[in-house]
Amino acid sequence: MHISINGKRVFLKGGNWGMSEYMLRCRGKEYDLKVKLHKEMNYNIIRNWLGSTTDAEFYEACDKYGIMVWDDFWLNANPNLPLDIHVFNSNVIEKIKRVRNHPSIAIWCGNNEGLPQPPLNGWIAENIKTFDNNDRYYQPCSNTGNLSGSGLWGNKDPRFYFTKYPEPYAGTGDGPSWGLRSEIGTAVFPNIESFKKFIPEKDWWPRNDMWDKHFFGQKAFNATPDNYDKSITERYGKPNNLEEYTKKAQLLNIETNKAMYEGWLDHMWEDASGIMIWMSQSSYPSMVWQTYDYYYDLTGAYWGVKSACEPMHIQWSPVDNSVKVINTTGTDFKNLKAEAVVYNLDGKTVGKYKQNAVVDSYSNTAVESLVIPFYSNQKDLAFQKNVTASSTDGGNTRDVADGDSNTRWASNSTDNEWIYVDLEKEYIVNRVVLNWENAFGKEYKIQISSDAKNWTDVSIIKDGKQGLQTISFDETKGRYVRMLGIKRGSGWGYSLYDFKIFGAETHVDTSDLSPVHFIRLKLKDASDKLISENFYWRGTNMKDFTELNKLPKANVNVSSKVIKQNGKYIIKSKVSSPSGIAFGIQIQALNEKSGTQILPAIVSDSYFTLLKGESKEVTIEFDETALKNGEKPIVKAIPYNK
In contact, 367 and 324? CB cutoff 8 Å: yes
* Residue 95 CB coordination number (10 Å): 18
Predicted local confidence at residue 74, as pLDDT: 96
User: Are 181 and 168 spatial neighbours (Cβ–Cβ below 8 Å)?
Assistant: yes
Percent over 90 (pLDDT), the chain: 90
Is the per-residue pLDDT at 394 higher than 90? no
Residue, of 576 and 175, whose pLDDT is higher: 576
What is the average pLDDT across 333-338? 98
Question: What average pLDDT does the segment 304-328 reach?
Answer: 97
289 vs 305: CA distance, rounded Å: 13
Kindly compute the dihedral angle of the four CA atoms of residues 581, 587, 589, 592, in this order, to the nearest 10 degrees: -30
Please, are residues 291 and 15 in contact by the beta-carbon 8 Å criterion?
A: yes
Angle subtended by helix axes 120-132 and 85-99, to nearest 10:
30
Task: Please check the confidence at residue 625 and state whether its pLDDT lies above 90.
Answer: yes
Give kind and range of the element (H or E) at residue 111. Answer: strand 105-111
Question: What confidence category does residue 78 fall into, taking pLDDT thresholds of 50, 70 and 90?
Answer: confident
pLDDT at 594 over 70: yes
8 Å CB contact between 36 and 66: no
- Over range 91-101, report the average pLDDT: 98
Q: Exposed, middle or buried, 331 (CB in 10 Å: 0-12/13-18/19+)?
A: exposed
Q: How far apart are CA 127 and CA 97, in angstroms?
A: 10
H runs (alpha helix) in 267-336: 300-308
What digits encode the pLDDT tens for the residues 236-277? 999 999 999 999 999 999 999 999 999 999 999 988 999 999
d(CA 474, CA 156): 10
Res 58: pLDDT: 98
pLDDT digits (tens, 9 = 90+) for 213-244: 999 999 999 999 999 999 999 999 999 999 99
Instruction: Identify the burial level of 405 via C-beta atoms within 10 angstroms of its C-beta, where 0-12 means exposed, 13-18 middle and 19 or more buried.
Output: exposed
Residue 41, pLDDT above cutoff 70:
yes
Q: What percent of the chain has pLDDT over 70?
A: 99
User: What rounded mean pLDDT belongs to the chain?
Assistant: 95
> What does the pLDDT read at residue 3?
80
Pairwise CA distance, residues 352 & 443, whole Å: 39
Nearest-Å Rg of the Cα atoms of the chain is: 26
Residues β-bridged to residue 459: 446
β-bridge pairing 322-327 and 516-524: unpaired
Q: Give which of 537, 557, 556 is closest to 548, Cα–Cα.
A: 537
Mean per-residue pLDDT, 421-434: 94
SS3 499: strand
Cβ(188)–Cβ(246) under 8 Å?
no
User: pLDDT tens digits, residue range 466-479?
Assistant: 999 988 888 899 99
Per the omega criterion (within 30 degrees of 0), is the bond before 152 cis?
yes
Q: How many Cβ atoms are within 10 Å of 272's Cβ, its own excluded?
A: 22
Q: What is the secondary structure of 136-197 as a DSSP string?
A: SEEEEESSSSS---B---S---GGGGGSSS---STT-SSSS--SEEEEE--B-PPPHHHHHH
163 contacts 473 by C-beta, under 8 angstroms: yes
For residue 414, give the nearest of 491, 467, 498, 483 by alpha carbon: 491
Average pLDDT over residues 301-305: 98
With 70 as the cut, is the pLDDT of residue 77 above it?
yes
CB distance 625 to 599 below 8 Å: no
The pLDDT value given to residue 167: 85
Tell me how far apart the alpha carbons of residues 608 and 536 are, in angstroms, rounded to a whole number: 10
- The mean pLDDT value for 560-568 works out to 96
Give the pTM. 0.93
Model pLDDT, residue 176: 77
- Residue 371: pLDDT over 90: yes
Q: Residue 506: its pLDDT value, please?
A: 54
80 exposed, middle or buried (CB, 10 Å; 0-12, 13-18, 19+)?
A: exposed
The C-alpha atoms of residue 189 and residue 252 are separated, in whole angstroms, by 9
Mean pLDDT along residues 205-210:
97
Q: Is the pLDDT of residue 507 over 60?
A: no
Q: Is residue 2 very low, low, confident or very high in pLDDT (cuts 50, 70, 90)?
A: confident
Burial class (CB in 10 A: 0-12, 13-18, 19+), 25: exposed
E strands, 411-529, are: 418-436, 441-449, 456-461, 467-488, 495-503, 516-524
- pLDDT at position 377: 67
Q: CA-based angle 167:170:171, to the nearest 5? A: 110
pLDDT in tens, 484-494: 999 999 999 99
Residue 508 banded pLDDT, cuts 50, 70, 90: low
